[in-house]
């Protein structure tokens, strides 16, 4: 991972100090990682991925895939078909739904937050 972090710094055209400022860490923390004294923390890696969204997380963490290709999990359509949802309407419940009642509904928002609704 150390070499990949160095590659990001070089390709960004930033000095080590500018890079540490951009991702919001102390210069000494970056220096310790680059020298091999410390391993990058999860927070360190997440800050890199947040500031450089074009960097593929699989590439950064594991060296897999293309450096600039942002990875996203691929779910086969046949296994999880896209539901048709109409907002602000009463949901239709079929007899098969009653065999296995709903326990919880979770809504995920674009900002990473979520809200859970539990059955009574």
What the block records as the tokens of 72 is 């996203």
Domains of the chain, each with CATH number or no CATH? 2-62 (1.10.260.40)
pLDDT tens column, 1-23: 889 999 999 988 999 999 999 99
Residues 33, 106: Cα–Cα separation, whole Å:
38
pLDDT at 72: 40
Q: pTM above 0.85?
A: no
What the block records as the tokens of 83 is 């539901």
pLDDT tens column, 52-101: 988 888 898 888 877 774 334 444 445 555 555 555 555 566 666 667 77
């Amino acid at each position: 991972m150390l070499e990949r972090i160095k590659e990001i710094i070089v390709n960004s055209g930033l000095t080590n100090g500018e890079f540490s400022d951009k991702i919001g860490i102390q210069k000494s923390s970056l220096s310790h990682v680059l020298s091999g004294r410390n391993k990058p923390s999860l927070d360190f890696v997440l800050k890199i991925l947040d500031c450089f969204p074009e960097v593929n997380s699989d590439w950064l963490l594991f060296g897999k895939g293309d450096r600039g290709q942002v990875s996203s999990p691929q779910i086969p359509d046949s296994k999880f078909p896209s539901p048709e949802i109409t907002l602000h309407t009463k949901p239709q419940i079929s007899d098969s739904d009653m065999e296995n009642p709903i326990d919880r509904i979770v809504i995920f928002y674009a900002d990473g937050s979520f809200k859970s609704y539990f059955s009574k």
